[in-house]
Amino acid sequence: MGGLGEMVAINGNTIELIKNKQGGDGTKVINLIKSIEKLAEENSDDPYLIAMAERARAVQESFEARQTSTAEALAELLREVEGNETRKKEQAEKSFDGLTYFVYRSLLDAKVQNAETVSRKIRHAFTEFPNWKRSENALRELRKKVTFALFAETEDLDRVTAMVDELFTLLEKADRI
């Protein structure tokens, strides 16, 4: 982590590695952001990592605009890395792929009942419509299935609509990486 632009692997050892490396915290912040973005780029089928890269970019913007101190930015990025490690363990325990885990985590954060069951239904809907990225009709049908899966657990249509929109917006961003 000596020079600017030096990538670091994002894994279980990252936090300890960063804390023990020589060099300024500002350099560590920039390198960590670049490493998170590279990880998301290499795993663009994992919405969790895409969202993590977006959060890292927000930290970068705040840091560059001097709204966040170097120590705060570094702490926030290390929390992201730690959260990703926790996510990987939980994802493996539940045998979820990246999409299913992302949906599951989003549902938990939104306090949707039966998040695990709903996320599996949503995953099944994605397997029913594998061409959803290329077909307007498949996308429409997929969105409908995802909406109904969520609506079965929460009858707040505005909330369901916002969650579906957020999911598909993030998936579109993942597709552009």
Q: Clarify whether residues 146 and 86 are in a common domain.
A: no
Q: Clarify whether residues 74 and 35 are in a common domain.
A: yes
Q: Clarify whether residues 68 and 32 are in a common domain.
A: yes
Q: Clarify whether residues 67 and 119 are in a common domain.
A: no
pLDDT reported for residue 138? 94
Summarised one tens digit per residue, pLDDT across range 95-109 is 998 888 988 988 888
CB atoms within 10 A of CB 15: 15
Q: Clarify whether residues 102 and 153 are in a common domain.
A: yes
Residue with structure tokens 């109904």? 148
Amino acid, res. 145: K
Q: What's the rounded mean pLDDT across residues 149-174?
A: 87
What's the domain count of the chain?
2
Q: Is residue 128 part of a domain?
A: yes
pLDDT at residue 88 greater than cutoff 60: yes
What is the signed CA dihedral for 121, 122, 128, 133, rounded to 10 degrees? 180
Q: Cβ(124)–Cβ(100) under 8 Å?
A: no
Summarised one tens digit per residue, pLDDT across range 22-79 is 667 788 888 888 889 988 888 877 888 888 999 999 999 999 998 888 889 989 998 9
